[in-house]
Structure 1
Amino acid sequence: MSAIFGIIRFDGKQVTDDTLKRMGAAMRTRGPDGIRHLNIGPAGLGHCLMRVTREDRFEWQPIEQDGLVLVADARIDNRDALAETLDIAPDRLERMADSDLILAAYREWGSECADHLLGDFMFAIWDDARQRLCLGRDPIGMRGLYWYQGDGFAAFATEAKALMTLVDVPRKLDDVRLMRAIVRDFRTGENSSPVTGLTTIRGGTIRFVSLDGVVEDTVYWEPHAASEHVGRDAAYYHETYRRLLIEAIDCRLRRLLDPPGLLLSGGFDSAIIAGIAGQGMAGTGHRILTITSAMAPDERDASHRDSDARRGAQWCLDHMPHLDHSWWVQSDEDFLKAAGTAEHVGDDVPLQLGFVFDEMYRDLRSRGARTAFDGIGGDETVNPRIRSALASLWRARRWGRFWREARIEARSAHVGALRLAIGVMLPQWLRRLVRGRPGVDGVHWTSRYCVSEQLEAFVEAGDVQLPKQVIVGDLGARLRTLELLRSRARQNNANEAAAQGLELVRPMLDRRLIEFGLAVPDSVQRVNGRYRALARAALADILPPEFATRPPGQEMLLPGSERMIRGAASAMREDLIRWQDRPELSSHLRIDRLVEDLAPDRVETADGIQLAVIARMYLTARYIAWFRGLN
């Protein structure tokens, strides 16, 4: 992934070259093919170049033409359609970078250009005639953008660390955002960085910044069901689902310079990408480089066999000869050692299993990949884990189908069909009253290790909500989709992939798939008690045959994580003892209780949920200590 950065001043001062150089140097992992900037007096723009597609050979940014200066990090998928609309000849299009197309679109449509672009993009355009800066982000926010506005200036960058090079950005952590990290609530997009004052521009937004300091946002896209997909029959959904998936995956493959990499989790989403990518790469001479994090075959006991990714990944390998696969199996890796750099790379509190991604990214890059595909987003868009389609059937008054599905679901849940049906028939307000306040896995342990007064104050004020891990009910996956897309808070693994020289690609978060997925009724996604019925039926010739009847289940990133955390308990305890008198930590976390529960006798009897929460709390403490320069 490339990167962009820039500054605009409102106080009459000039942007200095040294300032821009420092910002670019902070993101040098995204600029292996060059880092350049342009100083234009009250503003300055810069670009870090990572060549991934054929058109990237023609990239040379910043672009300066007729009073416009542009920098962009982009992959534009509708190049041919844009060229036809903009009257660009095919031979000229072949020599145009994606950034050139964005600039041409801006000339044609001005601030409305972003809505005409299909793909992942982030751009900044200085318009000298209007004396303003225009920032645009793709609908989903796949390309990162952090923002800071201070006294007399504003600045932006793909990564937060570039903004931290500016002397006027405060070195202070945001207490609210830290509490969100502690309770794992990343749905609110405003405080998207732990650093005070650093926010993001939401996906689907254009921001205008004038020299007088006025900042205006225009939202050009929100998650919605496209009208052409609403109220259609099952045959339409099957045909359209297949067509859009092939388009979304192929447009991310067809222009690559190097063979694509894929994190193959063994689930539906990554298996779909693996199967369709094989067809898209036919004739190119490239195989799909895949990697799976799995347990060693001799360590797979009965408790982990169904959740280990090895089973599903092996099904793909058995039926997809175009895959060039490797396994990543944990041996003696220490997630504490990996976390030593994760704070700086990720711009956020690190995840306890983040080092697994680092290892897989490193493997793909060493084998020649420049992109890393994964299936993230499928659960929230076109392949939702529909826990129950009964509510939508009840609302649609499809009584026969309702009772048939109720009987099937009741048998699998070992409850009475009538009891299950009555629960669905209740109005939503009554169901919420019966269920009580939603919670999260490990909420008891989370509360134990937080400073209770602060946590209670946040929850009571509505600043922090404790989200339910899986929303059950009539809106199901659609609510989860809106939460995911509206938050756009954490740039999931984009920085980590870029640090290994890879561009992160997520076709399941394609705009076309979102607008289609939100229109598909639950009754099409779950049929005869099986979730993901749409994928099973529409892609029967692409998915391994075992997927037609595979039961529900979640592939774990690292099933042996409990052993890993127990092995690091002593080192975590020593660090926490060293930090326990620091007010920066004790104002958020109960360090004494963490130290107590990390004692050898306590660790041996702790269950997996408690260990996971302890690891998360430790990494939060470590991040605070790292930020303060305490370690």
Structure 2
Amino acid sequence: MWDMVGAIEAAGDQNLSPRRLAAIASPFARGPVTARRSGSLVFALAPARSGLERLVPPLSHGDDGAITLLDGWLAGEGDGVSSGARMGREPDVARAHRLWRRWGTAAAPHLHGSFALAHCPPANEAGGERVWLCRDGGSHRPLYFVHLPGRLIAFATQPKMLLALPGVRRDLDEDIMLAALANYMTLPAEAMPYADLRRVPSAHWVCLSAQGVDMAPYWTPRDRPPPAGFSDDDYVAAGRDLLDRVVGDYARGPGPVAVALSGGLDSQAIASSLLLHTSGPVHGYARLPPTEHQTRTGPTTFADERPGVDSLAARYPRLVVHAITRRGVKPGDAVLRETQRATALWSPASLFQCSQMDVNLAASADGMACLLTGIGGNQTLSWRGDDRFAALIASGRWPGLLWEIAACGAVNGAWRLRQVIGALAPEPLRRLFGRSRKPFHRVSYGRFFTREALARLDQAPRDINGVTDAMGVRELRLFMVGLDCFFLDVDALDARRLGLERGDPLADRRMVDFFLSVPADQCLRHGRDRWLARRILADRLAPEVVWQPRFGDPLVDIGPRAEAWRPGLSLGIERLRGSRLARRLLDLDRMAEIAGADWPADIAGDRRSFATVASLAAAVQTGGFLHMIDGAND
């Protein structure tokens, strides 16, 4: 895990030297910084984790003057011109350099793994002086760039590095910020909330040259044909082999490996794979609130994750469970403000970010080097298979549809039967029986905009996920797999700040490609959703985990947690009154009323109350970022 920053100045400018870039990179370094000049490119590489200073920095020079820098690692597959023995001996950065020199952008689809790379060809090569940037298809290796025509081309793994370069404006792009809060799902993936910064979207390459910026995806999630001739057992064997291979790739490298653990399938799939194919202890970090705090219940979820975690620990003695029982980080806390200052970004998803930071802080304090999560599993390994109903309807197999619906109810209970029928029933039929769909109160990142902020938008702020309401199941799945935005970078940058490398094997491009090729009847059969995942894991996990029809609820303790947030939210709102930007864009008076006299009474049981408090927490997070920008500019 290496941070990198590089720049090419216009001819005649000499503002940047290796020493100056080393000074810019040094606040992020956990070891000596390597800074050099290669032709017109000046760059610096800084180890982002202790212990890496003993390794050779990940850069590769060619005899022709070309240079490649790499943050991350490459999987040992996808390269059609090398033997396995050569790939085993060849450093990842040398392999990336060789493939890029041979194929150019056509090399990108052959690079699997978790990486961000920069390649600078010789200045005398056809096309002139330019820099190529490329990222993998995940969200854990951010890469950013600046293109100021006639002045500066620059790239970095940290936004703050680019903001420190001479001539780069730190001004907030208020239109981008407001658009992201109003509906981040429709925001261009390269957009950044700063006037001069842009980001490299996942699974894209970018070319920066005097002629401008070229950008294109080299991979997009799409439906793929199923493997020819596969039986049920073949899908299980192929899925299990792929899971083990990908998890093994993400766990490679020096230092202890940890898993963000829960009582559900996805995290336990990763943990069990590690435990079966590695030696030594595997550490699991699980948020396990006390039973008396588990106040939010529902028919589709289970409250207590501890029995599932305990069953895994009993099955695998090498699993070391670290239970996080305290309420931990709260919206508006100083640690969140420190993250904003260190990363120069923010996430309004304060509930999710607080939970992730609890795990990050605990794993970092224990000296973990790598933390694996299973967040992407809902769209890959443990895809529920609801598109099977649409497939049965499209093929006119009405008896099969009725049988599958009935089986869902028999296996899972009345709640699942109502859920399936409600999703399939057309709205006119629902109205006929007086069961029209009711508004679903959800979090809105723009709920507390001022009138001035609303007037600047060309769209009304929407609830998060509101843009997906009209999508079909399959369309929604593809959309969520490809979702990309600077909000998603914050967790990875925060972990990196703590010297912790995060990865999500279940969101790996290889996992996405395979599971998008799996037919719907492999994921939902005989009323069992996630049928393929359950069969893959049947001999690895406890039966009560494998066949549990409900999902764990990460907000089961939201009632007590929110009450603990209330004083900090009130203090945070008062602090925001000192920010010119926050006063202008956020309705601080209304926010203070919600935190005070209008505080909802039943946050755990009432969706509207929960959405109100979560939206307030998001506004306080956003206000903290605005306050930081004010301080940086004033």
Is 1:13–2:9 an aligned residue pair? no
**Residue 204 to residue 70, structure 1, CA distance change in 2 (3 Å):** same
Higher mean C-alpha displacement, 17-26 vs 123-132: 17-26
Q: Look up the match of 2:257.
A: 260
Query: Of 507, 526, 529, which aligns to 1:531?
Result: 529
Shift of residue 509 of structure 1?
1.3
Could you tell me whether the CA contact under 8 Å between 2:58 and 2:71 is conserved in 1? Answer: no
Q: Look up the match of 1:383.
A: 382
Could you tell me whether the CA contact under 8 Å between 2:135 and 2:201 is conserved in 1? Answer: yes
Is 1:148–2:146 an aligned residue pair? yes
Q: Look up the match of 1:133.
A: 131
Per-residue Cα deviation, 1:165-202 (whole angstroms, up to 9, x for no partner): 12322222222333345446345244543223322112
Query: Of 267, 275, 279, which aligns to 1:278?
Result: 275
Could you tell me whether the CA contact under 8 Å between 1:439 and 1:466 is conserved in 2? Answer: no
Could you tell me whether the CA contact under 8 Å between 1:187 and 1:486 is conserved in 2? Answer: no
**Aligned to 2:552, what secondary structure does the other structure show?**
coil
Q: Look up the match of 2:156.
A: 157
Q: Look up the match of 2:345.
A: 348
Shift of residue 513 of structure 1?
0.9
Could you tell me whether the CA contact under 8 Å between 2:144 and 2:155 is conserved in 1? Answer: yes
Is 1:76–2:77 an aligned residue pair? no
Per-residue Cα deviation, 1:322-379 (whole angstroms, up to 9, x for no partner): 2111111115755423222121244422443434433422332343421111101111
Higher mean C-alpha displacement, 524-533 vs 482-491: 482-491
Could you tell me whether the CA contact under 8 Å between 2:287 and 2:324 is conserved in 1? Answer: yes
Q: Look up the match of 1:618.
A: 620
Please report the RMSD computed on the Cα atoms of aligned residues, expressed in angstroms.
3.7
Query: Of 61, 64, 85, which aligns to 2:61?
Result: 64
Q: Look up the match of 1:629.
A: 631
Could you tell me whether the CA contact under 8 Å between 1:59 and 1:99 is conserved in 2? Answer: no
Q: Look up the match of 1:294.
A: 288
Per-residue Cα deviation, 1:468-523 (whole angstroms, up to 9, x for no partner): 37967984265234334242432152112112211112110111111112222333
**Residue 587 to residue 190, structure 1, CA distance change in 2 (3 Å):** farther
Q: Look up the match of 1:170.
A: 169
Q: Look up the match of 1:319.
A: 315
CA distance in 2, matches of 1:228, 1:9: 49
Could you tell me whether the CA contact under 8 Å between 2:221 and 2:481 is conserved in 1? Answer: no
Q: Look up the match of 1:200.
A: 199
Per-residue Cα deviation, 1:502-560 (whole angstroms, up to 9, x for no partner): 1112110111111112222333212233321111122200122112321222330x543
Q: How high is the sequence identity, in percent, across the aligned residues?
A: 21
Is 1:328–2:336 an aligned residue pair? no
CA distance in 2, matches of 1:629, 1:416: 51
CA distance in 1, matches of 2:5, 2:538: 45
Could you tell me whether the CA contact under 8 Å between 2:295 and 2:558 is conserved in 1? Answer: no
Q: Look up the match of 2:335.
A: 338
CA distance in 1, matches of 2:373, 2:452: 40
CA distance in 1, matches of 2:216, 2:597: 55
Question: Equivalent residues in 2 for 1:531-570 (5 A)?
Answer: 531-556=529-554, 559-570=556-567
**Residue 467 to residue 398, structure 1, CA distance change in 2 (3 Å):** farther
Q: Look up the match of 2:606.
A: none
Q: Look up the match of 1:117.
A: 111
Question: Equivalent residues in 2 for 1:471-482 (5 A)?
Answer: 475-476=472-473, 479-482=476-479
TM-score by length of 2: 0.85
Q: Look up the match of 1:514.
A: 512
**Residue 571 to residue 194, structure 1, CA distance change in 2 (3 Å):** same
**Residue 437 to residue 192, structure 1, CA distance change in 2 (3 Å):** farther
Q: Look up the match of 1:2.
A: 2
**Aligned to 1:629, what secondary structure does the other structure show?**
helix
**Residue 603 to residue 564, structure 1, CA distance change in 2 (3 Å):** same
**Aligned to 1:314, what secondary structure does the other structure show?**
helix
Could you tell me whether the CA contact under 8 Å between 1:261 and 1:290 is conserved in 2? Answer: yes
**Aligned to 2:206, what secondary structure does the other structure show?**
strand
Could you tell me whether the CA contact under 8 Å between 2:147 and 2:213 is conserved in 1? Answer: no
**Aligned to 2:105, what secondary structure does the other structure show?**
helix
Could you tell me whether the CA contact under 8 Å between 2:392 and 2:398 is conserved in 1? Answer: yes
**Aligned to 2:533, what secondary structure does the other structure show?**
helix
Q: Look up the match of 1:367.
A: 366
**Aligned to 2:350, what secondary structure does the other structure show?**
coil
Q: Look up the match of 1:37.
A: 35
Q: Residue 295 of structure 1 aligns to which amino acid in structure 2?
A: P
CA distance in 2, matches of 1:584, 1:235: 59
**Aligned to 2:375, what secondary structure does the other structure show?**
coil
Could you tell me whether the CA contact under 8 Å between 1:290 and 1:326 is conserved in 2? Answer: yes
Q: Residue 7 of structure 1 aligns to which amino acid in structure 2?
A: A
TM-score by length of 1: 0.85
**Residue 340 to residue 205, structure 1, CA distance change in 2 (3 Å):** closer
CA distance in 1, matches of 2:211, 2:233: 53
CA distance in 2, matches of 1:473, 1:413: 27
Question: Equivalent residues in 2 for 1:77-96 (5 A)?
Answer: 77-78=75-76, 82=79, 85-86=81-82, 90=86, 96=90
Shift of residue 209 of structure 1?
2.2
**Residue 174 to residue 566, structure 1, CA distance change in 2 (3 Å):** farther
Could you tell me whether the CA contact under 8 Å between 2:185 and 2:483 is conserved in 1? Answer: no
Q: Residue 319 of structure 1 aligns to which amino acid in structure 2?
A: R
CA distance in 2, matches of 1:397, 1:121: 45
